Amino acid sequence: MATRVGVDGLTKAQRYYRRHRDKVLAKHKELRQENPEKFRGWSKRYRENNPDSERARHLMREYGITVEQYNAMEVQQGGVCAICKQPETQERNGVKYRLAVDHCHKTGKVRGLLCFKCNSAMGSFEKRDVPLANVEKYLEVWK
């Protein structure tokens, strides 16, 4: 059975939510506090059954890009890190990490995809406001 959609493109439930958002969220919070285990189970099952949905939400919320844009960057870079030109090697529980989205913390602009190690290094320098030219000069001395 198909979900009925009104002329505004919304279902009845979506219209109700828009009109009563604060009330719905307050009730949801109350139920979550009363039944934390039940909600954790629902959330866990949803994430397990919809891994791409969570990833899409994360990419959009954190970096303002879609999964398709991420995939296009990955193809453009040949599936390797933009700095070291190596594929990702970091794993957790036997699952290999995806390349991390590198972005400027001041402007939010996405620069490319990096492996875990290069992203960590970039983050350390950027947080301390260390000019990368200084790092390059230092490395040149020890060649």
Domains within the chain, CATH numbers bracketed: 10-49 (no CATH), 65-143 (3.40.1800.10)
Instruction: Report residue 2's pLDDT band, with 50, 70 and 90 as the boundaries.
Output: low
Please state the pTM of the whole predicted model.
0.63
Q: Tell me what the pLDDT averaged over the chain comes to.
A: 87
Q: Burial level of 17, CB count in 10 A (0-12/13-18/19+)?
A: middle
Q: What is the mean pLDDT of residues 103-120?
A: 89
Instruction: Report residue 77's pLDDT band, with 50, 70 and 90 as the boundaries.
Output: very high
DSSP, collapsed to helix, strand or coil, labels residue 24 as helix
**Neighbouring C-beta atoms of residue 118, cutoff 10 Å:** 21
In angstroms, rounded to a whole number, what is the distance separating the alpha carbons of residues 110 and 64?
A: 9
Q: At what angle do helices 21-34 and 12-19 cross, to 10 degrees?
A: 90
